[in-house]
Amino acid sequence: MKHRKWWILAVVVALFLGLGFANLSVPERKVQTDISHLYGVRDPQFLRSMGLMLGPAIAEGNQATVLLNGDQIFPAMLEAIRGARQSILFETYIYWSGDIGREFAQALAERARAGVPVHVLLDWVGSQKIDDVLLQLMRSAGVQVRYFHPLRWYNLGRLNNRTHRKLMVVDGRVGFTGGVGIAPEWTGHAQDPRHWRDTHVRVEGPVVAQMEAVILDNWAKTTGEVLHGAAYFPPLAPVGSERAQMFASSPQGGSESMLLMVLLAISAAEQSIDISNSYFVPDDVTRRALVAAVRRGVRVRIITPGPVMDAETVRRASRGLWGELLEAGVQIYEYQPTMFHCKAMVVDGLLSSIGSTNFDERSFRLNDEANLNVYDAGFAQQQQAVFEDDLKHSRRITLAQWQARPWREKVKEAVLARLGALL
């Protein structure tokens, strides 16, 4: 009997160790070779590659509006929710609590009581801090709230696959995406360390149908329910002049498609690449692509978080990888006033990519992510103006400064850089 107990204990331990390894390990890398520079972002071949080889078709006739920080983002989202008449779909990694969490819950509940179908998909890990009171408020009003990959014995092996997306579509006509979660940290206007800097986008036009399809795919995977019809996919007439596509990735549907999109954009650059990213821990292929861009004359600038950081180990891992980038001439800046949570890239004043994707292996290979790609010079000009303003609040890190770090920092950052895929 005693031997049997030890045998059962050994099996349980082995099972948990195996599951732990499965969740901490990174899937086998598929993208290993560099992508050659064959054409620029203004070449029709670039659009064909982005729309046919990698992602959904590039839709004409859209209008995207940049929203900065909570003071602009949350009122726009709440206005759309309160005006909903047909449907609301909301998928987010982070939904915590506080006044803003309560305001969203009340607005969603009110629309559900009015008879509007409201579907909310929360990531089980990212939204652990949500108050049960808010869940009860929404569910009692008829809001369908579901968790993405909740902790269950039968899906322990998928625990490391999170939906990191931040997507909302109202009436199938108005969409929102970017880096913002529903939490007090995103309120305000980045005025102090307790209020974060972030960017979201409000979009109308045919590309909204692609955003809706991305959310509904995960809704179907989570609930088994297929939502369709005019309440979700109404006819969408052109409302502007911008070309756009909703680019999504997941381990189940091409885990490295987002990485391929980013690499293709970097490899097509001929003038400038401006990257704003909160968790910048690029793999060796991405670093080589950035270095190659600089060597063919492209100005590459990157803004990352500075002293105010919600994940210091990630910041250290990032800094451990800067050597070859700084030596090549990549300009790296650290944002000073508060946590910098933006996830945006602008290439050659034409392509703007904004969404949930970080420059790290977790985003590129483990998470479900979504970025809105806008191919428009006017929109890119707005984004570059935002980037220039963020630069005013950032401190440039030179190669000499990086090399002069205390040896303890060098050792710690070198170790964490090698563990970057697990952070």
The question of whether 166 is a catalytic residue gets the answer: yes
Please check whether residue 34 lies inside any domain of the structure.
yes
Smallest CA-to-CA distance from 351 within 70, 78, 39, 8 is with 39
CATH number of the domain bearing residue 154? 3.30.870.10
Please check whether residue 301 lies inside any domain of the structure.
yes
Q: For residues 249 and 328, is the Cβ–Cβ distance under 8 A?
A: no
Distance CA 253, CA 257 (A): 9
Residue 31 has pLDDT above 80, yes or no: no
Look at 80-84, 167-171, 273-277, 419-423 and tell me which has the smallest mean pLDDT. Answer: 419-423
- pTM equals 0.91
Q: For residues 281 and 423, is the Cβ–Cβ distance under 8 A?
A: yes
User: Angle, to 10 degrees, between the axis of helix 312-319 and the axis of helix 407-418?
Assistant: 100
Q: E-strand spans in 213-297? A: 242-249, 272-277
Catalytic residue from among 149, 166, 195, 200: 166
Q: For residues 371 and 247, is the Cβ–Cβ distance under 8 A?
A: yes
User: Amino acid identity of 340?
Assistant: F
The question of whether 217 is a catalytic residue gets the answer: no
Q: What is the per-residue pLDDT for 151?
A: 78
User: Amino acid identity of 153?
Assistant: W
The question of whether 2 is a catalytic residue gets the answer: no
Q: What is the per-residue pLDDT for 58?
A: 96
Q: How many domains does the chain have?
A: 1
Q: What is the per-residue pLDDT for 358?
A: 94
Residue 5 has pLDDT above 60, yes or no: no
Catalytic residue from among 119, 343, 368, 390: 343
**Tokens encoding 165:** 């997306």
Q: Give kind and range of the element (H or E) at residue 370.
A: strand 369-375
Please check whether residue 19 lies inside any domain of the structure.
no
Q: What is the per-residue pLDDT for 26?
A: 52
Please check whether residue 411 lies inside any domain of the structure.
yes
The average confidence (pLDDT) of the chain is 91
Q: What is the per-residue pLDDT for 105?
A: 98
DSSP alpha helix (H) spans, 114-174? 132-141
The question of whether 164 is a catalytic residue gets the answer: yes
Residue 110 has pLDDT above 60, yes or no: yes
Please check whether residue 3 lies inside any domain of the structure.
no
Smallest CA-to-CA distance from 342 within 326, 328, 358, 329 is with 358
Look at 29-43, 54-68, 373-387 and tell me which has the smallest mean pLDDT. Answer: 29-43
What's the domain range around 157? 29-422
Length of the chain: 423
Q: What is the per-residue pLDDT for 254?
A: 60
Catalytic residue from among 123, 171, 198, 283: 171
Please check whether residue 5 lies inside any domain of the structure.
no
CA distances from 411 to 310, 319, 422 (A): 21, 11, 18
Please check whether residue 2 lies inside any domain of the structure.
no
Q: Looking at residue 281, what DSSP letter applies?
A: -
Catalytic residue from among 119, 274, 341, 376: 341
Distance CA 71, CA 108 (A): 19
Residue 423 has pLDDT above 70, yes or no: no
The question of whether 5 is a catalytic residue gets the answer: no
Please check whether residue 18 lies inside any domain of the structure.
no
